[in-house]
Amino acid sequence: MTSSPDAARAEDTTPSGSSTPRLRPPCERLSGCQKSGVCSRSYFWVVMVFFHLYIFNVIALLFYVHYSSGQEDPNRSRDAPSGGRADSPRPPSGGEFLRDVSLTRVDGIRVGHVQKVSLVPGKVHEMRTLSLKPLLFEIPGFLSDDECRVVMQLAQLKGLMESQLMVQDGQEELAKELNLSAEEIFNLLDINQDGQLQLREILTHSRVRDGIWLTPENLREIYAGLKADKNNDGLLSLKEFRLLSSDAFQHFLLQRGVKRSQLVRNSRHTWLYQGQGAHQVLQDIKERVTRLTRLPPTLVDLSEPLQVVHYEEGGHYHAHRDSGPVYPETACTHTLLAANTSTPFETSCRYITVLFYLNTVQGGGETAFPVADNRTYDEMSLIQNDVDLLDTRRNCDKSNLRVRPTKGTAVFWYNYLSDGKGWVGEQDEYSLHGGCVVTHGTKWVANKWINVDPDYQRQARYQQLVSQLPQDESDEAPAPNADTQHSSVHQEL
């Protein structure tokens, strides 16, 4: 069977055997058009018109892009957290900041691993991994003896204040703001949902308030004094719980008198500014911290000043975390002004804690990490058979890890996990730590906290707002060299 010549002209056959339509010349596709010069000239003019329109649009687009780019400061980085103070702090349209900054995290490798760290010219420090949960490091000789002496003297010159005052009233007002009924509060406290409040469930709740430190013995005394536990079994039913007000525990102890040893922390402290114009030793310490953590200098500059703390004999700080979990309804204290909406809750968003020991303590005073490198974390297991792992006055020896205070040594750890995308993730529950009671002598330490908001946009807006302030109104000065944090200072031994 053969095909007609017309069919053969209508399609071409590919090597695979399939046929594809053959495109006719333009003049053949035009109805009634012959292969004449008129048809060829018409087609040529149509093509040229479209070609010129295309060129015109391209040129117009290039002019628009060039004009728009000229309106921006070419020296300004794309978003605030990349370091350095911007001259033109206007955010991109819509107020959203492009994220091109990642927070470098030092790799712990394994417990006991030692890395060489170049922090000051002509000297190499050794940094040892103490735990992986939390990610915790120790650097002996981070501060010289002279630097320790200067920091203590500057703190004394400025004057120290009590680290914790007596319990503040106003818990009733807070309860009203929360708009929670007694039944709702009871259910929130009843962690195991057995319909009764155990001693450890009440203790866990009371310590959230940063008030008086309650022991199981104290709680039994309060139950008896307030006649709350009718059957004296150490458990509270919902009916018994309704008899207690939010301030019942605190008011009871205040009436009986509160000793310093009964507070959550027993110490005195002050804050030392580290920006331009500060003592050179303080500026040197800040720069060293920036190199150690390998974070953008802007983040370090805009964090809290250096806190210096003095513990006398008997001083302590029960186990706690330096940062709180951040929920949608919670704002970070340092970026509160940059929050788009008001919130009744705020917390200290301290991404990293760097703790310096300014003297060698003669007895006690260790920094304890009760659950460091535990296989699992369970809040309810912190108090078992009246053994309270959070109590650093009585149970420090039961902590998984204790760091002995040695003059000049620094320890630092991450209070948050990574989000897997180069920014701040969830709170690290294993960062629980406290100061063991000083049994002999005194204890001097300093804390450098690096504040980072887990909400990147809020952190960027905050840095933008600060960049708009006059130089003398800013809390901290910009870092002299924004590139120093990228140098590789960690080398394995």
Whether the per-residue pLDDT at 46 is higher than 90: the answer is no
> Dihedral of CA 104/110/111/113: which sign?
negative
| CB-CB contact of 311 with 434 (8 Å) | no
pLDDT digits (tens, 9 = 90+) for 61-78: 555 544 444 444 433 333
Whether the per-residue pLDDT at 11 is higher than 50: the answer is no
How many angstroms separate the CA atoms of 80 and 86, rounded?
7
| CB-CB contact of 438 with 313 (8 Å) | yes
Q: Please tell me the CATH code under which domain 172-261 is placed.
A: 1.10.238.10
How many angstroms separate the CA atoms of 447 and 339, rounded?
26
477 or 272, greater pLDDT: 272
Where exactly does CATH 2.60.120.620 map onto the chain? 95-164+264-492
What average pLDDT does the segment 298-313 reach? 97
| CB-CB contact of 196 with 237 (8 Å) | yes
Residues in the chain: 493
- Of 106-110, 111-115, 235-239, 318-322, the one with minimum mean pLDDT is 235-239
Three-state secondary-structure class, residue 160? coil
| CB-CB contact of 458 with 91 (8 Å) | no
pLDDT digits (tens, 9 = 90+) for 129-143: 999 999 999 999 999
Three-state secondary-structure class, residue 291? helix
Whether the per-residue pLDDT at 468 is higher than 70: the answer is yes
pTM as predicted: 0.70
pLDDT digits (tens, 9 = 90+) for 75-106: 333 344 544 433 434 444 446 888 878 899 99
- Of 123-127, 172-176, 388-392, 487-491, the one with minimum mean pLDDT is 487-491
What average pLDDT does the segment 194-223 reach? 71
Looking at residue 76, what is its pLDDT?
A: 38
Whether the per-residue pLDDT at 20 is higher than 80: the answer is no
Identify the burial level of 274 via C-beta atoms within 10 angstroms of its C-beta, where 0-12 means exposed, 13-18 middle and 19 or more buried: buried
Tell me the CA distances in angstroms from 320 to 204, 210, 270, 402, one per residue in order: 11, 10, 20, 15
Three-state secondary-structure class, residue 400? coil
Q: What angle do the packed helices 216-226 and 248-256 form, to 10 degrees?
A: 90
> Residues 6 or more apart from 191 whose CB is under 8 A from it?
201, 204, 379, 380
Indicate the average pLDDT of the chain.
Answer: 78
* Tokens standing for residue 140: 């002996």
How many angstroms separate the CA atoms of 404 and 489, rounded?
26
Q: Where are the beta strands (DSSP E) in 17-140?
A: 19-21, 114-120, 123-132, 135-139
pLDDT band at 123 (very low <50, low <70, confident <90, very high): very high
Instruction: Cite the DSSP H helix spans in 294-393.
Output: 297-301
Looking at residue 214, what is its pLDDT?
A: 72
| CB-CB contact of 297 with 484 (8 Å) | yes
pLDDT band at 35 (very low <50, low <70, confident <90, very high): very low
| CB-CB contact of 204 with 191 (8 Å) | yes
pLDDT digits (tens, 9 = 90+) for 423-454: 999 999 999 999 999 999 999 999 999 999 99
Closest CA to 396 of 352, 353, 361: 361
Most confidently predicted of 213-217, 355-359, 461-465, 477-481: 355-359
CA dihedral 215, 221, 224, 227 (to 10 degrees): -60
Looking at residue 391, what is its pLDDT?
A: 93
35 or 458, greater pLDDT: 458
Tell me the CA distances in angstroms from 288 to 62, 128, 254, one per residue in order: 47, 17, 44
Q: Please tell me the CATH code under which domain 95-164+264-492 is placed.
A: 2.60.120.620
Three-state secondary-structure class, residue 179? coil
> Residues 6 or more apart from 149 whose CB is under 8 A from it?
none
Looking at residue 223, what is its pLDDT?
A: 79
One-letter amino acid of 252: F
Closest CA to 322 of 438, 450, 442, 444: 450
39 or 76, greater pLDDT: 39
Looking at residue 451, what is its pLDDT?
A: 98
Return the percentage of the chain with pLDDT > 70, whole number. Answer: 67
Whether the per-residue pLDDT at 188 is higher than 50: the answer is yes
What average pLDDT does the segment 259-286 reach? 91
* DSSP string covering 19-48: EEEPPPPHHHHSTT--S-HHHHHHHHHHHH
Looking at residue 78, what is its pLDDT?
A: 38
How many angstroms separate the CA atoms of 400 and 381, rounded?
14
Looking at residue 128, what is its pLDDT?
A: 98
154 or 63, greater pLDDT: 154
How many angstroms separate the CA atoms of 21 and 97, rounded?
52
Where exactly does CATH 1.10.238.10 map onto the chain? 172-261
Tell me the CA distances in angstroms from 308 to 60, 139, 152, 443, one per residue in order: 62, 19, 8, 11
pLDDT band at 470 (very low <50, low <70, confident <90, very high): confident
Looking at residue 344, what is its pLDDT?
A: 67
